[in-house]
Amino acid sequence: MTPVRIGLIGFGYWGPNLARNFHAMPTCELAAICDSNPERLDKAALQYRSSTLYADVDKLLDSDIDAIALATPARSHYALARAALEAGKHVLVEKPLAMTTHEARELVDLAAAQGLVLAVGHVFIYNPAVHYVKSLLNSGALGDVYYLYSTRVNLGRVQSDINALWSIAPHDISIYLYLLDQMPTMVSARGARYLHGEVEDVVFLILSFPNGVLAHTQVSWLDPSKVRHLTLVGSQKMVVYDDLADEGKVKIYDKGVSRFTDAQYGEYQYRLHAGDIVIPKLPLAEPLRAECDDFIQAIQTGKKPVADGANGLQVVRVLEAAQQSLLQDGQPVTLAPQA
């Protein structure tokens, strides 16, 4: 099969990771790299000598590449993805797919109309640890899902154009939608702007799913330590996924429940007991590589990518509702059952 010719737009923070993966894959060719910043382009030239370099997106889109990977600031995603689709290129967009539901849906529709692949960089749903948690869930071993919560904070790169919700939480939201296989019915978010007053540096987000399932996420770029932690509490077992753990990223906690009668007040009481803990050996695959592979295979075989445009749209719907709640001091916002 002919290797897919990829053009990468954006060689800043994340673009080099996409470049490294596409370069290493036999199924595609990193044909071109585009960045309006000359320093970055020089850096790209040094590492990828056989790729054509562009300072101008239009020229790249005019060239004979098959697909575009977009690693530019979030606010540029919609316009660039649209231009690429209109130019007949398959597109992989970094998360979030767009900044509004309306724009996201437009991209999905455009890709469908053009018969092109539209994929979104929800890299965590290509993660072996997330797959493992999903398989546990599907097997019924965890029992009913009670609640989930995640913390994704660090001391790091402060965005100036989008807040921590749009910058960081797409990861958590995409994981929740993937694990629970349904959309939340209500969203609320609180946050605050500390550093330069234009975007929220820290956001606390709660999603209500059917059957009383709650999912909470805390995101920030002002926190002292890097934390990438997700807990799922089920009626039978609990799972913790710590992306930074040295010794196994997933821990499965068994538990027991005992019920006893309180002699003094004559009421039933519950006591929960810790049980064995298992840390399973996970495959050592790089999630970003799996994401890139999935994109290329979708182009070559016509299969739908796991993180396709529709998936990207759902995540944007949740983000948009959360943003609305954020602007209303955390008022819960109801999500319509269908987009």
Cβ–Cβ < 8 Å for 227, 154: yes
Interface pick for its own copies out of 270, 301, 302, 336 (rule CB under 8 A)? 270
3-state secondary structure of 68: strand
- Specify whether the CB–CB gap between 229 and 223 falls below 8 A: no
| Sole binder of its own copies in the list 240, 316, 319, 335 (CB under 8 A) | 240
Cβ neighbourhood burial of 61 (10 Å; 0-12, 13-18, 19+): buried
In b/e form, how buried is each residue of 175-193, taking b as 16+ CB within 10 angstroms? bbbbbbeebbeebbbbbee
- Taking phi first (over 0 means left), then psi (-120 to 50 degrees means alpha), and beta for anything else, what does residue 307 get? beta
Site for its own copies contains 44 (CB under 8 A): no
211: left (phi over 0), alpha (psi -120 to 50) or beta: left
Q: Quick one: which of 82, 216, 289, 304 contacts its own copies (CB under 8 A)? A: 216
Q: How many CB atoms lie within 10 A of CB 298?
A: 22
Among the listed ranges 83-91, 171-179, 289-297, 323-331, the one in contact with its own copies (CB under 8 A) is: 323-331
Q: Which stretch binds its own copies (CB under 8 A): 120-128, 130-138, 225-233, 316-324?
A: 225-233
**165 and 131 Cβ atoms separated by less than 8 Å:** no
User: Is position 283 an interface residue for its own copies (rule: CB under 8 A)?
Assistant: no
Stretch 132-171 residues interacting with its own copies (CB under 8 A):
146-147, 149, 155-161
Q: Taking CB under 8 A as the rule, does residue 254 contact its own copies?
A: yes
The number of residues that bind its own copies (CB under 8 A) is: 82
Residue of the chain from 115, 139, 267, 302 that contacts its own copies (CB under 8 A): 267
Q: How far is the CB of 223 from its own copies (least distance, A)?
A: 6
- Interface residue with its own copies, options 2, 115, 246, 283 (CB under 8 A): 246
Query: Can you read off the two tokens belonging to residue 254?
Result: 């068994």
Which of 45, 79, 244, 285 is the binder for its own copies (CB under 8 A)?
Answer: 244
Q: Does 20 bind its own copies (CB under 8 A)?
A: no
d(CA 86, CA 80): 10
**Binding segment (CB under 8 A) for its own copies, from list 58-66, 108-116, 120-128, 190-198:** 190-198
Q: Which stretch binds its own copies (CB under 8 A): 77-85, 122-130, 195-203, 316-324?
A: 195-203
Question: Binding residue for its own copies (CB under 8 A) from 277, 285, 303, 327?
Answer: 277
Q: Tell me which residues in 56-115 interact with its own copies (CB under 8 A).
A: 73
Question: How do beta strands 333-334 and 186-192 pair?
Answer: antiparallel
